[in-house]
């Protein structure tokens, strides 16, 4: 008995030493990262980087897109609503009915391993996107691609697609060997940086790409860290463990502003807090009812109290940074008029409206809206759902009111209005043949002025018929240490770091 | 589950009984009962005294520190992220906790004791089925079940009760199985069997009474753990709908404001902790009494 | 003994099959699948259908189940659609962090628990015993996630001594390990206390004392050794529980472990990862329980006969 009992003690001793070893390794690791010479930029965005494959399941994931912008090259990048800058491509043009898009590739672009980027690889990458059937592929239904010569790539669509440029900004070109197993564990690309190590969901370490076509970046290292916990991320920024972050909640921003080592700023983003009202629900069938509900909520107070830093009262369905934005007449808060209008429209005050949302960030917003609606005599049942359940119910129309932040990919209203509001989309319960016609025409025209006009008309219809409530434009807040120079604040929360410098 | 292990695995008499020093009855011994009593009173009468509407927010009076004046009176424990009174949340949360705790214990106790007694008494196939199910449940991440259940059903109190009971019966089953197994070998059970009393009758009349004490002791402990689990579920965002006040939700809501508005998290957590500790103390006392008499 | 071992192993395999099947069914019962989640709120019905088809999710459940069982039998957990690599690889990447946390918590629990238990059990009924016993009871009952938050509030936000969340370094480990260890510490302390208190009354303790050994020698050399048996059992049984139960703590501290991975995989309906992670947790729990049982059976033959029918 006496001898036997020693075993567990010995085991415990082993455990302790094991622990010390791991602890010791990690401990020495931290300062090395923090003080790694003059040129290290530590980045911690709000979304972890879990997968470096820009074509597959995570292709539209914030983390993957962020990493892709550093590692790979797109054909073009968006610089503003309807404005683009060439990256891999130097020239591009649609045919007359926007069914064919022809790109001329930049010459002499190489991957970080020294091999040249070919037109065939652009084709292969695009076909890889289509084959993956992931979220990015959804933008390119009915597309095919071809490389008639070494420097030309042609994308052909079955239907006219004027918004193709905006959509193709999310597409990145990978080398031929991307097909190989394990390639995306340490991928090779033609972007400003190359991967030195990648721990999914935890850290991505990058080195500058000496062969980058636009000049080797100044930084010696870029480290993306994953710190999902907001307060931890803020602490890391204050202690200097992290140099740049963004997407902070409003309640944290005031604190950051008081820190003299930090700069804080925000840029308008394509995001709009959108609260669709299910027009298929009997109680919400009438536009008068939907408008009255909108009128019954004091969005001005809610936005000012909950989002003093990053929110502003919306005056359109898409944000001002998006092509197709058109200012609308704001809906004024007037509970008395709302109540009267509801009565007049024969609204059934006995109905309990299911108000669904999935992200906890909306909880306070939803509660405040529900509170205002209750004051107008409208019963609302706020339901927080797990993301998968939320999506399933969203598509199955098992909801009455719904809140999401909706952006416009590529800063083009086609990816928002054009995709979500036609009758066929079956997303809002609202169906208007006239609107369908306008949206289709706007998506097919290559004339930007014409498109703007059509989207303005469509926006007015959506706004006046109150397909949803559109309470808030979202700004993207950034905070960085003052040692960081040359940071460009990306409206979509996916900044690039090619031109950033760090002074110690 | 931790505590049920102790109940099952601690068959030896408490050394306290053999301790040479005979202790005096401590006046503090009554304290847990008094505190639980206060909680019960609060849960029952509190909502009649404190006016609170979980749906009514006032965004302009948000994040006020304890003692602040609001439009509707003094917020003694401050206000939360949408301007609701924290004190009222503590009071209403007590009611939620008791309802859920008691319901879970009742449901899981009923299922667990029935299955455990059947398994322990009949042995063979029934025992096999119950024991293996327990094995699987114990090696299965409870969180997964909770997520699925809360996804399948519309959010509500009943969902939380079901989700917690699905895992909660295991402790009761293990306890009653082992007690039944040892009891059925006793003389009077043999006697009953020889006299031709039917199996179900033997089980209910001659064995079940011996389960009562230990089951009550375990029920107390499980009550504490159910209250805790509800809070943990709500904390993970898988629990109650937003319009039901719960301590776990209040704690979770205040998590982002730890640096600026600690009161949202601290007070409901304190209420939860004190209650759970007191129930734990009572449960421990009962456990000691019944594990002693059992041997 | 061999017969017993064989039986236990058979039961273990049966349990694994049960867990594997239950996970398969349960995760598919949940509304939504990887196609809906991956494609997001703007997806068209035909896009979802196409992805579902390419992932094989449109096959009948029975077909899926048997092909899955076959794969599991060869330890193939398939590709994680979301992470774009083998599911088991994603799971094993997170495993060390969880192990690290669990071991740290276990070490704390054993060290602190043993000390508390010996101090209390040394003189049963004394004031010290009463104080320690009440304290450990309290420890056992406190809500760990709330204690975790309070530790963050005190040590990370107020005193700024330790990081509040994340992983990767020793300071990051301290708070979650302490939090996770709390109920376990209490348990070890209580088991040790009753063991020590009981042993103190045994004859050989008197003998040791009369030989003129100091009280420390008596405690360390004789009493503790004999009181360790139940502690070993509990440690074995509880490490499994700790592994599975670290989910909440990992969430509170954003600890990059298996629990966090499991929660997000369930959220993404990443079936392969959920199945792989659950399998691994189940194996750990079963193996540790078996080990504890074996140690126990070896130490005390009575248990083998009595408790394992």
pLDDT at site A288 = 93
A404 vs C: CB within 8 A: yes
Using pLDDT thresholds of 50, 70 and 90, give the confidence band for residue B24.
low
User: How long is chain A?
Assistant: 504
Could you tell me the domains of chain A? 3-16+268-475 (3.10.105.10)
* pLDDT the model gives residue A33: 37
Given an 8 Å threshold on Cβ–Cβ distance, is C163 in contact with A426? no
Residue B141 binned pLDDT confidence (cut-offs 50, 70, 90): low
Q: In angstroms, what is the C-alpha Rg of chain B?
A: 22
Rg of chain C (C-alpha set)? 24
Torsion sign across C-alpha atoms B38, B44, B47, B49: negative
Q: Where are the beta strands (DSSP E) in chain B?
A: 68-70, 73-75
Cα separation, B30 vs A305, whole angstroms: 47
pLDDT at C207: 77
User: Where does residue C180 fall: left (phi above 0), alpha (psi -120 to 50 degrees), or beta otherwise?
Assistant: alpha
Q: Which residue in chain B has the smallest CA separation from A360?
A: B237
Which chain C residue has the Cα nearest residue B248? Answer: C146
pLDDT mean over B104-111: 92
Q: Which of A432-441, B123-132, B177-186 has the highest mean pLDDT?
A: A432-441
User: A57-78, pLDDT tens digit by residue?
Assistant: 888 888 999 999 999 999 999 8
Residue B269 clears pLDDT 50, i.e. is over it: yes
Give the pLDDT confidence score for residue C167 in this predicted structure.
65
- Cross-chain residue pair C241–B123, CB shorter than 8 Å: no
Considering only the beta carbons, identify the residue of A249, A371, A384 that sits closest to B57. Answer: A371
Chain B nearest C-alpha distance from C124 (Å)? 6
Rg (CA), chain A: 25
Residue among B59, B81, B242 whose CB faces A302 most closely: B59
Q: What's residue A238's pLDDT? A: 86
State the average pLDDT for chain B. 77
Tokens, residue B3: 């505590």
d(CA A353, CA A285) in angstroms, rounded, equals: 13
Q: In chain B, what residues touch C187 (CB-CB under 8 Å)? A: 2, 6
Rounded Cα distance between C57 and C38, Å, is 14
β-sheet bridge partners, residue A74: A172
| pLDDT of residue B10 exceeding 60 | no
User: For B132-160, what is the mean pLDDT?
Assistant: 74
Query: CATH 1.10.3720.10: which residues of chain C?
Result: 92-308
Concatenated DSSP letters of C125-163: TSHHHHHHHHHHHHHHHS-HHHHHHHHIIIIIIIS--S-
> What distance in Å separates the CA atoms of residue B235 and residue B246, rounded to the nearest whole number?
9
Identify the closest residue of chain C to A386 by CA–CA distance: C267
Query: What is the β-pairing status of strands C79-80 and B73-75?
Result: unpaired
CB contact under 8 A, A50 and C30: no
pLDDT digits (tens, 9 = 90+) for B234-265: 777 777 877 788 888 888 888 778 777 888 88
Set of chain A residues whose Cβ sits within 8 Å of the Cβ of C163: 232, 235-236
Say yes or no: ipTM exceeds 0.85: no
Pairwise CB contact (< 8 Å): B132 & C233: no
Tell me whether residues A302 and B260 touch, CB distance under 8 A: no
Q: What is the pLDDT of residue B289?
A: 77
Confidence at residue A154, expressed as pLDDT on a 0 to 100 scale: 95
Give the three-class secondary structure for B152: helix
Tokens of C306: 């009595």
Contact of C90 with C280, CB cutoff 8 Å: no
In sequence order, the 6+-apart residues with CB closer than 8 A to the CB of C60 are none
**What is the rounded CA–CA span in Å between residue A332 and residue A351?**
24
Contact (CB<8Å) C124/B269:
no
From the number of C-beta atoms within 10 Å of its C-beta (0-12, 13-18, 19+), residue A247 rates as middle
Contacts of A199 in chain C (CB under 8 A): 93
pLDDT higher than threshold 50 for residue B2: no
- Chain B residues near residue A360 by CB distance under 8 angstroms: 237
Q: pLDDT of A303-352, one tens digit each?
A: 998 899 999 999 999 999 999 999 999 899 999 999 999 999 989 898 89
Please tell me if residue A426 touches chain C, with a CB cutoff of 8 Å.
yes
Which of C32, C51, C256 shows the shortest C-beta gap to A133?
C51
Give the closest of A251, A360, A383 to B155, CB-based. A383
Which residues 97-126 in chain B show a CB within 8 A of chain C? 123
Does B47 touch chain A if contact means CB atoms closer than 8 Å?
no
Which chain C residues are closer than 8 Å to A8 by Cβ?
228, 231-232, 235, 295
A7 confidence band (pLDDT: 50, 70, 90): very low
* Residue A457 pLDDT: 94
Chain B interface includes C172 (CB < 8 A): no
Instruction: Give residue A290's pLDDT.
Output: 94
Residue pLDDT, tens place only, A409-421: 889 999 899 999 9
A461-481 confidence digits (pLDDT tens): 999 999 999 999 999 999 999
Q: DSSP readout, A257-311?
A: HT-TTEEEEEEEEEEEEEEEB-TTSGGG-SHHHHHHHHHTS-HHHHHHHH-TTTE
Q: Tell me, letter by letter, the H, E, C secondary structure of C18-83.
A: HHHHHHHHHHHHCCCCHHHHHHCCCCCHHHHHHHHHHHCCCCCHHHHHHHHHHHHHCCCCCEECCC
Neighbours of A152 (CB within 10 A): 16
Give the helix/strand (H/E) hosting B206.
none
Contact B2 C238 (CB under 8 A): yes
Distance from CA of C223 to the nearest CA of A (A): 11
Residue of C42, C94, C225 with shortest CB distance to A5: C225
Summary mean pLDDT of chain A:
87
Residue A344 to residue A431: CA distance in whole angstroms: 23
Q: What is the pLDDT of residue B1?
A: 37
User: At the topology level of CATH, where does C92-308 sit?
Assistant: MetI-like fold (1.10.3720)
CA separation for the pair C142, C151 (Å, rounded): 13
Residue ranges of chain C with per-residue pLDDT less than 50: 304, 306-309
Give dist(CA C17, CA C243) in Å, integer: 20
Residue A442, pLDDT > 60, answer yes
User: For the ranges A308-312, B54-58, B78-82, C19-23, which has the lowest average pLDDT?
Assistant: B54-58
All residues of chain A having their beta carbon less than 8 Å from the beta carbon of residue B64 are none
pLDDT at A297 over 90: yes
Structure confidence at residue B147 (pLDDT): 64
Contact B15 C194 (CB under 8 A): yes
Q: What is the pLDDT of residues A238-256, one digit of tens each?
A: 888 899 999 998 888 988 9
* Of B167, B159, B165, residue with least CA distance to B137: B167
Q: How many whole angstroms separate alpha carbon A284 and alpha carbon A249?
A: 32
Contact A392 C110 (CB under 8 A): no
Q: Give domain B73-294's CATH architecture.
A: Orthogonal Bundle (1.10)
Instruction: Please give, rounded to a whole number of angstroms, the shortest distance from the CA of B178 to a CA of chain C.
Output: 8
Q: Does C127 touch chain B (CB under 8 A)?
A: no
Q: Is the pLDDT of residue A217 over 60?
A: yes
């Amino acid at each position: 008995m006496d001898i036997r009992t020693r075993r567990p003690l010995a085991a415990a001793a082993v455990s302790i030493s094991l622990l010390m070893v791991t602890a010791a390794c990690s401990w020495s690791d931290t300062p090395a990262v923090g003080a790694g010479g003059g040129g290290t930029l530590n980045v911690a965005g709000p979304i972890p980087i879990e997968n470096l494959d820009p074509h597959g399941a995570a292709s539209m994931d914030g983390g993957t897109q962020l990493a892709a912008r550093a590692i790979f090259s797109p054909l073009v990048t968006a610089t503003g609503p309807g404005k683009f800058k060439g990256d891999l491509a130097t020239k591009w043009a649609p045919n007359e009915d926007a069914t064919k898009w022809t790109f001329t590739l930049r010459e002499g672009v190489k991957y970080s391993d020294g091999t040249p980027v070919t037109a065939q690889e652009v084709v292969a990458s695009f076909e890889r996107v289509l084959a993956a059937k992931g979220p990015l592929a959804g933008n390119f239904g009915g597309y095919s691609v071809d490389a008639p010569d070494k420097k030309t790539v042609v994308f052909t669509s079955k239907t006219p697609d004027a918004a193709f440029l905006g959509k193709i900004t999310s597409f990145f070109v990978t080398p031929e060997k991307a097909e190989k197993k394990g390639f995306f564990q340490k991928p090779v690309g033609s972007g400003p940086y190359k991967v030195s190590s990648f721990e999914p969901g935890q850290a991505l370490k990058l080195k500058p790409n000496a062969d980058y076509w636009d000049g080797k970046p100044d930084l010696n290292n870029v480290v993306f860290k994953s710190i999902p916990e907001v307060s931890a991320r803020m602490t890391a920024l204050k202690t200097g463990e992290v140099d740049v972050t963004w997407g902070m909640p409003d309640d944290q921003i005031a604190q950051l502003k008081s820190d003299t080592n930090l700069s804080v700023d925000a840029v308008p983003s394509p995001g709009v807090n959108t609260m669709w009202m299910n027009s298929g629900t009997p109680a919400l069938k009438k536009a008068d009812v939907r408008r009255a509900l909108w009128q019954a909520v004091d969005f001005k107070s809610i936005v000012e109290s909950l989002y003093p830093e990053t929110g502003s009262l919306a005056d359109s369905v898409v944000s001002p940074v998006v092509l197709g934005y058109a200012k609308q007449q704001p809906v004024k808060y007037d509970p008395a008029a709302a109540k009267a209008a509801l009565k007049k429209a024969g609204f059934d005050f006995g109905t309990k409206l299911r108000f669904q949302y999935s992200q906890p960030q909306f909880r306070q917003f939803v509660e405040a809206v529900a509170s205002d609606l209750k004051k107008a005599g409208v019963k609302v049942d706020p339901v927080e759902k797990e993301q998968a359940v939320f999506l399933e119910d969203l598509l199955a129309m098992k909801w009455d009111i719904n809140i999401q932040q909706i952006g416009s990919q590529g800063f083009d209203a086609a990816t928002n209005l054009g995709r979500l509001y036609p009758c066929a989309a079956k997303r809002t319960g609202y169906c208007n043949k006239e609107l369908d016609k306008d949206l289709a025409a706007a998506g097919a025209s290559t004339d930007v002025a014409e498109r703007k006009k059509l989207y303005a008309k469509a926006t007015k219809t959506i706004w006046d018929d109150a397909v949803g409530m559109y309470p808030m434009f979202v700004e993207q807040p950034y905070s960085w240490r003052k040692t960081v120079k040359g940071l460009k604040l990306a409206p979509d929360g996916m900044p690039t770091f090619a031109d950033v410098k760090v002074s110690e | 589950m931790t505590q049920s292990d102790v109940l099952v695995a601690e068959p030896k008499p408490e050394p306290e009984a053999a301790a040479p020093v005979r202790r005096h009855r401590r006046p503090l011994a009554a304290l847990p009962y008094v505190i639980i009593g206060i909680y019960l009173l609060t849960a029952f009468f509190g909502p009649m005294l404190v006016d609170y509407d979980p749906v009514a927010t006032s965004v302009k009076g948000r994040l006020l520190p304890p003692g602040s004046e609001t439009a509707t009176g003094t917020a003694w424990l401050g206000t939360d992220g949408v301007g609701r009174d924290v004190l009222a949340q503590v009071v209403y949360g007590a009611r939620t906790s008791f309802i859920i705790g008691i319901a879970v214990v009742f449901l899981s106790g009923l299922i667990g004791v029935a299955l455990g007694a059947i398994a322990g008494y009949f042995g063979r196939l029934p025992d096999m089925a119950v024991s293996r199910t327990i094995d699987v449940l114990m090696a299965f991440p409870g969180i997964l079940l909770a997520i699925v259940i809360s996804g399948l059903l519309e959010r509500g109190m009943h969902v939380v009760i079901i989700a917690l009971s699905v895992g909660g019966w295991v402790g009761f089953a293990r306890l009653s199985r082992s007690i039944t197994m040892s009891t059925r070998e006793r003389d009077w059970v043999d006697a009953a069997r020889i006299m031709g009393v039917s199996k179900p009758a033997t089980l209910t009349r001659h064995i079940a009474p011996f389960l009562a004490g230990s089951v009550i002791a375990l029920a107390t402990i499980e009550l504490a753990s159910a209250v805790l689990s509800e809070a943990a579920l709500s904390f993970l965002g898988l629990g109650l709908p937003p319009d039901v006040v719960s301590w776990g939700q209040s704690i979770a809501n205040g998590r982002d404001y730890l640096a600026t508005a600690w009161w949202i998290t601290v007070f409901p957590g304190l209420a939860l902790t004190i209650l759970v500790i007191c129930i734990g103390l009572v449960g421990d006392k009962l456990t000691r009494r019944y594990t002693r008499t059992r041997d | 003994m061999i017969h017993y071992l064989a039986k236990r192993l058979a039961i273990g395999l049966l349990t694994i099959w049960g867990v594997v099947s239950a996970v398969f069914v349960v995760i598919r019962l949940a509304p939504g699948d990887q196609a809906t989640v991956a494609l997001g709120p703007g997806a068209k019905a035909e896009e979802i259908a196409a992805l579902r088809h390419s992932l094989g999710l449109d096959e009948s459940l029975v077909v899926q189940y048997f092909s899955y069982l076959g794969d599991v039998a060869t330890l193939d957990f398939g590709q994680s659609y979301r992470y774009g690599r083998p599911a088991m690889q994603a799971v094993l990447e997170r495993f060390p962090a969880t192990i690290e946390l669990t071991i740290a918590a276990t070490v704390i629990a054993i060290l602190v628990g043993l000390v508390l238990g010996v101090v209390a059990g040394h003189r049963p009924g004394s004031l010290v015993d009463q104080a320690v016993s009440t304290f450990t009871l309290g420890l056992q009952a406190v809500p760990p996630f709330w204690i975790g938050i309070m530790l963050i509030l005190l040590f990370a936000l107020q005193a700024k001594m330790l990081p509040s969340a994340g992983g990767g370094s020793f300071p990051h480990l301290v708070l979650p390990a302490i939090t996770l260890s709390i109920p376990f510490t209490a348990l070890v302390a209580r088991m040790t206390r009753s063991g020590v208190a009981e042993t103190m009354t045994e004859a050989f303790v008197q003998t040791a004392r009369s030989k003129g050994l100091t009280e420390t020698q008596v405690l360390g050399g004789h009493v503790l050794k004999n009181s360790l048996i139940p502690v070993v059992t509990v440690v074995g049984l509880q490490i499994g529980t700790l592994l599975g139960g670290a989910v909440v703590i990992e969430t509170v501290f954003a600890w990059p472990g298996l629990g966090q991975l499991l929660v997000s995989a369930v959220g993404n309906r990443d079936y392969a990862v959920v199945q792989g992670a659950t399998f691994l947790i189940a194996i750990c729990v079963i193996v540790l329980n078996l080990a504890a049982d074996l140690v126990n059976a070896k130490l005390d033959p009575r248990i083998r006969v009595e408790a394992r029918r």
